[in-house]
Structure formats: C-alpha cells, structure tokens
A and B are shown apart, each in its own frame.
Chain A
Amino acid sequence: MPFRSYHFHRHCEQVPVRGISTQSVMRSRHFAGGVNDKRTGQPPRYDEFTFDQSDSDAVAKAMINGHWQYERGRQWASIAPLSMPLKIEGKLNPKAVALYRAACERGLTL
C-alpha cells in the first residue's frame, strides 16, 4: 500500500506521534537551547514555539517538537551537574545520555 501523508485536524485531533531515540532528542538544537537557558538562569522561551492556525502542518509539527525538546533540555539541565557537558567535541556525551535515560525511568523527565 503506498504511503499517504496524513493531514490531521489541529483543532480536534491528537497530533500523530512516533517513537524517537534518546540521542535524537538530545541532539536537537532546541534541547541544547533549553539546557543553555536553564544553566544561565534565562526565563523560558516558550513563546518562540507558537504557530498560527494558518501555518502548514509541517511548520506546526516542527514548532510542537521544538517546544518539547526545549522543555526536555530545561528539565535535564535542572538535574545534571553543571560540570557535565551535553556534548564533547560535537558528539553527545554518553554520560549525559545515560543520565537522561535514568531520569526518564524514574519519571523525572518527559
């Protein structure tokens, strides 16, 4: 059966979701932005992820996903020691990933 894109109704339907790896979440620039904001004492920037009802589904999904990653970044930063970098030489710190997984298992992060 050929793949058909699914146009959901934003007013009344749940956004279609799919599973992603921990690394995909932590590699996101919005996640890094959330970590940086939390560690520097910046207030949350949730308003940057708003979208208009006239925007396309792709834009809406990107904004929603970015919002989640940003919030996850802030949550991770609130439990990770300041000495633990998110990335080392451009690659994810394995210890940071392990901490995020452990926090998820305990239900501390989304």
Chain B
Amino acid sequence: MSKKPKAAARELVTIAAEILDTYRVDTQSVIKRGDLLIEAKSQLKHGQWLPWLEENFSMDARTAQRAMAASKFAAKYDTRVVFNLTVDALYELSGGDYSAEFINTVMTEAEAKSVSAQRIWDIECELAPPQSDSFEEIEAQMNAEAEAEEQREAEEQAEAEKILDGAPPDLPPTEPPKRELPAKLKINGQQTATADFSPAAQAQIVAALAKKQTEHVIANLPASWDTAEERAEKCEPAATLQPTDGADTSAEQRKAEYAAAEQTAKQRKEHFRPALILQAEQAEELAGMFHASYQECPSAISADAIEAVHRALEAWSKIAQEVGRGTDDEAKAAA
C-alpha cells in the first residue's frame, strides 16, 4: 500500500506573508460592510434603521455602528496604510477619542508594518507624559489642572461679558418672511382662502384649484365611465348572434349578458349625469375666476397652471358633450 507523498514544506516567510494578507482581508471586509451600512442607512427614514438592521444584519447594532465609524475613518486615509491596521486597531482608532497627531503617528508606523490594537495602546503609553507615583505629586498635579481649568473658565466668562457689554454683531438684515400658499387647498374652502391673500396669491390659488380639479376629473369620472363602456364592448354584439332555436344555450347566454351590460352602462351614465353636470358648472365658475385673476395679475400664473386649466377645460367640454350640455364657449374663451 503506497503512502500519499507529503507536500513540500513552505517557507515560514511565505506563511507569515499569507497571515498578514488575511488581516488585510478582514480589515477590507469591515470597511466594505461599513460602506454598505452607510448606504442603506441613507435610504431609510427616521425610525426604520434599527428594525431594518435587526432583519438584515446578523450582528448587533453596536457592531454596525463600529463598522460605519471604521468606514468613515478609512475614507480619510490612504487605503494601503489602512489595510495594515488589524480590525481591532481600526475599531480602536475610529471609535477612540484620539488626537489627530496621535493618529498620524500610528498611521506612519502602519505604512511600514501591520499595527494591532495592542500596539496602539503601547504607542499611547510611550507618548504619555511620565506620571509620578507619589500621592502628593498626583494630588498637586490634579490641583494644578483644576486651577488651570478654573482660570480658563474665568477668562471665557470675562470674554463673554465683554461681548455682551459691547455692540451687537453686524448681521445682515433679515429678509421679510415669504408668504407661501398652503400645500393643501380645499375646493370647498376656496372663498375663505382667496379672501385672505393678495391678487397674485389669489390667482395662484385658483390655478392650483383648477389643477386639482383637473386631476380629480381625469382620474375618477372618465375611468368609471370607461369601465361601463368597456364592459359592454367585451360582450358580443347582438346583431352578430345567430337566431336562437333553444338548443344553442351559449348564444342565448351571451345575448343576455350583452343586454345586461348595455343596461348597466346606461344606468351608470344616468347615475353619473348629475355629478358630471356639477363638474361642468364648477368648471365654468373656476374658469371665470381663473380668467379674472389672469387679467389682474398675469405674471403670477405659471405655464404649468395655464396648461392644467387647458387640460381641465378639454376634459370638461368632453364631459359636457357627453351629458348633453354642449361645449362651454365661455370657459374656453377664459382659458
């Protein structure tokens, strides 16, 4: 029985280099994860983030925060150098309250070799000023620090008092507040709304009302109308059906369906007739108001509003013809 030949042993240097590569892959993964989390968070609204995280991220929220902080930190420095930091070092630098000078020191070392969190703490100890061991010296040092803090606060207080005693800052004049129209206009409240605004604002309100009315008419009533007509068209016309002899039950059934659909369409048209007449009357009134406002203040009416009113009048004239009122010449002239 032959033994499987043993693979040639690799050099330790090669193995060490590969281990180093695994650190880089880990760091790269964390940064990538942080980038993705930042991207996802930017698309979510307030209150949606934690539920989304719970559903889509297997680790806890704190880890997600650390990954995002690491990603933001890595964006500020050279990628090649950042990849020389181990994951714990990256978390430590991005989450710790380190000065820019200290971070630069660590990054300078990371240019040459891999840096772990332990090494960061060692560097911090190396750079820290020597501390005395005796209790009196520590107490004196703390007192000195407290005095310096009090002195600084007193200076800031004095400076603040000086500012308050002096002249106020030379601020630019505040612009008058813009009177914006309310976002939601009510059709029934148009009289109240127009009574409170200037002619230009009134014109804008009427234009907005016309647009809203148009959307309502186009979106609802013709759709209901078409539904009834389409239902009738789906059935085979009665003229094409063969005379029934009692045996062809399907033809009888189709004929009955057609008659029922035709009746429904007729009923629906009758049902919508008063509503359509009311719409057409409102169209007349609204077009008159729009015309008056346009005469008074043409610059306040936007091209969109004019187009909206045109569309409204087209729709309304079509409806008026359908219900037998004829076209509304006055409304067309106003537009």
Q: Do A and B bind each other?
A: yes
Question: Residues on A close to B: CB < 8 A?
Answer: 38-44, 47, 77-82, 84, 94-95, 98-99, 101-103, 106, 108
Q: A41-B172, A80-B163, A102-B160 are in contact. List 4 more A-B contacts (CB 8 A).
A: A38-B171, A40-B172, A95-B156, A99-B163
Task: Establish whether residues A42 and B175, one from each chain, have CB atoms under 8 Å apart when the complex forms.
Answer: yes
Task: Establish whether residues A108 and B164, one from each chain, have CB atoms under 8 Å apart when the complex forms.
Answer: yes
Secondary structure class of chain B's binding surface, majority of residues: loop
Counting contact residues on chain B (CB < 8 A from A), the size range is 20 to 34
Closest to A38 in B: B171
Bound complex: CA A38 to CA B175 (Å): 10
Task: Among A43, A81, A101, point to the contact of B163 (Cβ < 8 A).
Answer: A81
Q: Does B173 sit at the interface, judged by CB under 8 A?
A: yes
Q: What are 17 A-B interface contacts by the 8 Å CB criterion?
A: A41-B172, A42-B175, A43-B176, A43-B177, A79-B168, A80-B163, A80-B169, A81-B169, A82-B170, A94-B156, A95-B159, A98-B156, A98-B157, A98-B159, A98-B160, A102-B157, A103-B164
The answer to whether A98 and B174 touch (CB under 8 A), given A79-B168, A108-B164, is: no
| Interface 1/0 per residue, B138-156 and A, CB below 8 Å | 0000000000000011001
Question: Residues on B close to A: CB < 8 A?
Answer: 152-153, 156-157, 159-161, 163-164, 168-178, 180
Bound complex: CA A95 to CA B164 (Å): 13
Task: Among B153, B163, B175, point to the contact of A41 (Cβ < 8 A).
Answer: B175
Closest to B170 in A: A82
CB distance from A86 to the nearest CB of B (A): 13
Q: Residue among A78, A79, A102 with the most chain B CB within 10 A?
A: A102
Bound complex: CA A98 to CA B180 (Å): 38
Task: Establish whether residues A41 and B174, one from each chain, have CB atoms under 8 Å apart when the complex forms.
Answer: yes
Residues of B within 8 A of A103 (CB): 160, 164
- Going nearest first, the 8 A-B pairs with the smallest beta carbon separation are A41-B172, A98-B156, A102-B160, A43-B177, A99-B160, A98-B160, A43-B175, A81-B169
